[in-house]
Structure 1
Amino acid sequence: MNGAVEAANKNIKKIIEKMTVNYKDRHEMLPFALLAYRTSIRSSTGATPYSLVYGMETVLLIEVEIPSMRIMARAFNKKVRIREFSPGDLILWKVLHIALDSRGKFAYKYDGPFIVKEVFNGGAIILNDMDGNENALPVNADAFKKYYP
């Protein structure tokens, strides 16, 4: 139609020429050349042909052997506990001991309780303390756990 097939064939041929020593092993290198062509990003679309067809990036065999950031993130996300808060819940805020505390291991681990005023969809919440004073800045929900009086 518009020469796209011929251009793709030309690119695959260039890949095979770089991989082979003589013309007799071209048929052995064809699957590897096709994999390289299908998983490399095109400048015209900014995506790989594989991702355009299947809607996701391919996981290469080397990524299974040597963990990549994508594989490690997938393993980490399996262990994440979803914390669901709703307005009016009582929660405790985890204390990060930046300054040295004289009580050592007997120092408080959590501060509060606080009342959830508003919940955002990205995991941020706005708090009120027990006196009704509002904390104006949203805080990430990872630092909280529910309080059951």
Structure 2
Amino acid sequence: MNGVVEATNKNIKKILRKMIDNHRGWHDMLSYALLGYRTIVRTSIGATPYLLVYGTETVIPAEVEMPLLRIIQEVELSDVDWVRKRIDQLTLIAEKRMVVVCHGQLYRQRMICAFHKKVRAKLFKIGQLVLKHIFLHQDEYKGKFAQNWQGPYMVRKVLSGGVLVMSEIDSTE
């Protein structure tokens, strides 16, 4: 769940960066950024978060001022008919959520297949020399222009899942 919150925050920050020139005044634009985030169709689920919560798409203020066919049709309904229509929409929320879950699962499968097409399994043998890649988040990372590898190391054991027990050439594990 924490990863979902981090991804949401990252996306809202991206929207805010596009809306403001400097770091000042972001709080004035936050409500607009949140509205944009909630009303944009997500590729992964094929729907907007607003639709999943409220069971209907949003009506922006411009649509209320300029009467569109959808608004005109709703206005001409009697109160009883409008309530029936709204109840029908609300009963379809569960169905819409199930469609979104299926869409999300299909999207996830497509992403997994795309990932596995790019990944090539490497088979290591005991005694083989290898280099250790240094990633940005590791303590050994020295900066943009430093080497991004360490080694060489010698493979001592090959465990399941691609895990290696390595040692330096002088045999310290």
TM range (shorter): 0.3 to 0.5
- The structure whose residues are more often strand, as a share, is 1
TM-score (norm 1): 0.48
Q: Which has the higher contact order (CA 8 A, sep 6+)?
A: 1
- The structure whose residues are more often helix, as a share, is 2
TM-score (norm 2): 0.41
